[in-house]
């Protein structure tokens, strides 16, 4: 019971801190509209010049794809939590995590989950606004089960992203500069998850490799399920993400224990 209260206290603090930056919350609802509109213009030009080619998506599906990608991208916007931990390590303030009643790992994941929860609440308004603006193009799922089966998969993927961020933050104990890793990770992971271009447009040889990596199943695959384009490899998707999550769980535990032994309490 006491442990649950500690987690709830952290969640309240994180949510209060986020509520201070009201403009950022408002901007997160508005700015993706320009992002979606840009892709609307680009893909309209592509579809107009390739009328005889099958791109695997209708124009409406493509715009829906980017609307949902914008939503998922917002849900996974918690890099700043790991960056803050890396900064504390860099500045010799890692000791405060060691004397707290809640371990760093628990503090980190509770903070990230709080951000995801807040982003989901905000996305209710955001998605309604985006669908209203782009209602002409938005495609709703044919079957409710398509939507339901894609959501747990998405959260498994988001949890793996949390783990990868945590691992990078711990590298600050041994590396002089880790902030660049976060920027590279964000761009590289976004590309591999299909945030910029649907992965189905890549050659078949690349897709074969992608299917053994977690990126394929985080954004792209759940959207394919939502659009009714994919429902045969759901078990494979769950097994792959569970395997990657378990692997990173053990890796993070090993690195964290080594980090505690290595840390001297002095700024690196």
Q: What are the angstrom distances between the C-alpha of 46 and each of 38, 40, 62, 135? A: 13, 10, 11, 21
Place of tokens 């989901």: 120
Tokens of 119: 């982003």
- How many residues are listed for the chain in this entry? 268
Distance CA 135, CA 220 (A): 21
pLDDT digits (tens, 9 = 90+) for 58-104: 889 999 999 999 888 888 888 888 888 888 888 777 777 777 767 88
pLDDT category of residue 22 using cuts at 50, 70 and 90: low
DSSP state of 54: -
How many other C-beta atoms are found inside a 10 Å radius of the C-beta of residue 183? 11
pLDDT at 160: 95
Percentage of the chain beyond pLDDT 70 is 88
φ and ψ of 217, to 5 deg:
-100, 0
Taking residues 233-243, report their average pLDDT: 90
Distance CA 173, CA 189 (A): 23
pLDDT at 167: 92
Q: Are 85 and 107 in contact (CB under 8 A)?
A: no
| pLDDT over 50 at 268, yes or no | no
The 3-class SS string of 61-101 reads: HHHHHHHHHHHHHHHCCCHHHHHHHHHHHHCCCCHHHHHCC
Distance CA 92, CA 87 (A): 9
Tokens of 175: 């590396």
pLDDT digits (tens, 9 = 90+) for 176-200: 778 888 888 989 999 999 999 999 8
How many other C-beta atoms are found inside a 10 Å radius of the C-beta of residue 253? 11
pLDDT digits (tens, 9 = 90+) for 100-144: 767 888 888 888 888 888 888 888 888 888 888 888 889 888 777
Is the pTM higher than 0.85? The answer reads yes
More confident residue, 265 or 214: 214
pLDDT at 23: 66
Kindly give, in sequence order, each residue whose CB lies less than 8 Å from that of residue 92, ignoring residues fewer than 6 positions away: 265, 266, 267, 268
């Amino acid at each position: 019971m006491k442990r649950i209260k500690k987690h709830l206290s952290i969640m309240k603090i994180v949510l209060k801190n986020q509520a201070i930056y009201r403009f950022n919350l408002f901007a997160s609802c508005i700015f993706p509209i320009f992002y979606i509109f840009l892709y609307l213009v680009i893909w309209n030009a592509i579809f107009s010049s390739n009328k005889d080619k099958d791109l695997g998506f209708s124009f409406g599906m493509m715009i829906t794809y980017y609307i949902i990608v914008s939503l998922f991208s917002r849900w996974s916007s918690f890099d700043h939590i790991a960056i803050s931990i890396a900064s504390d390590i860099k500045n010799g303030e890692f000791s405060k995590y060691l004397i707290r009643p809640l371990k760093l790992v628990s503090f980190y994941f509770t903070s990230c989950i709080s951000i995801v929860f807040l982003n989901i609440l905000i996305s209710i308004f955001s998605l309604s606004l985006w669908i209203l603006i782009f209602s002409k193009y938005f495609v709703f799922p044919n079957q409710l089960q398509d939507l339901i089966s894609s959501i747990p998969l998405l959260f498994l993927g988001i949890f793996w992203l949390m783990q990868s961020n945590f691992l990078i933050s711990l590298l600050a104990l041994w590396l002089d500069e880790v902030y660049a890793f976060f920027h590279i990770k964000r761009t590289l992971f976004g590309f591999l998850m299909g945030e910029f271009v649907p992965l189905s447009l890549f050659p078949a040889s690349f897709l074969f490799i992608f299917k053994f990596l977690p990126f394929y199943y985080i954004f792209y695959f759940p959207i394919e399920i939502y659009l009714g384009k994919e429902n045969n490899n759901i078990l494979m998707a769950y097994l792959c993400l569970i395997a990657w999550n378990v692997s990173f769980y053990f890796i993070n535990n090993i690195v964290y224990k080594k980090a505690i032994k290595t840390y001297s309490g002095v700024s690196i």
